[in-house]
Amino acid sequence: MTTFQIRQNFKASYGMVSPMIRSDIIEKINNGSVVSLFEIPPAGIKADWNHKKHYPENEIPTRIYLLGGGKIKNMHQTYMRKYGEISWEDFRNYTRELIRQGIMIEMCEGL
């Protein structure tokens, strides 16, 4: 499987893709044709995300998606106000995976 390093930009603002695009991404993950935008399994091999922590339809990734975006640090604070405690490390890992999956995208400045 080919993989690429994804680094979060903690100074940037992030947005979420539309519900329709998110649904398409999740469908591709469900049928095993893609793990993330940056990891595509070799032909004939299906990826299994259904029982993993960062699967995008699990509770925490869905809650992060519903925050709508912003700077990661601000999103972490908003998440804790709305849903309760989550460590910075865990939150950072969830947002990294949402970025890898193409669900959370860095916004361009000045547009």
| Sequence-distant (≥ 6) Cβ neighbours of residue 101 within 8 angstroms | 25, 29, 36, 37, 56
Task: Specify if 77 maps to a domain.
Answer: yes
Task: Specify if 7 maps to a domain.
Answer: no
| Sequence-distant (≥ 6) Cβ neighbours of residue 60 within 8 angstroms | 86, 90, 94
Task: Specify if 59 maps to a domain.
Answer: yes
| pLDDT reported for residue 2 | 45
| pLDDT reported for residue 1 | 43
pLDDT digits (tens, 9 = 90+) for 5-48: 567 899 999 999 999 999 998 888 887 776 665 555 555 555 55
Number of domains present in the structure of the chain: 1
In this model, does residue 49 exceed pLDDT 90? no
Task: Specify if 31 maps to a domain.
Answer: yes
pLDDT digits (tens, 9 = 90+) for 68-95: 999 999 999 999 999 999 999 999 999 9
Residues spanned by the domain of 64? 13-106
Task: Specify if 101 maps to a domain.
Answer: yes
pTM of the model: 0.81
| pLDDT reported for residue 46 | 57
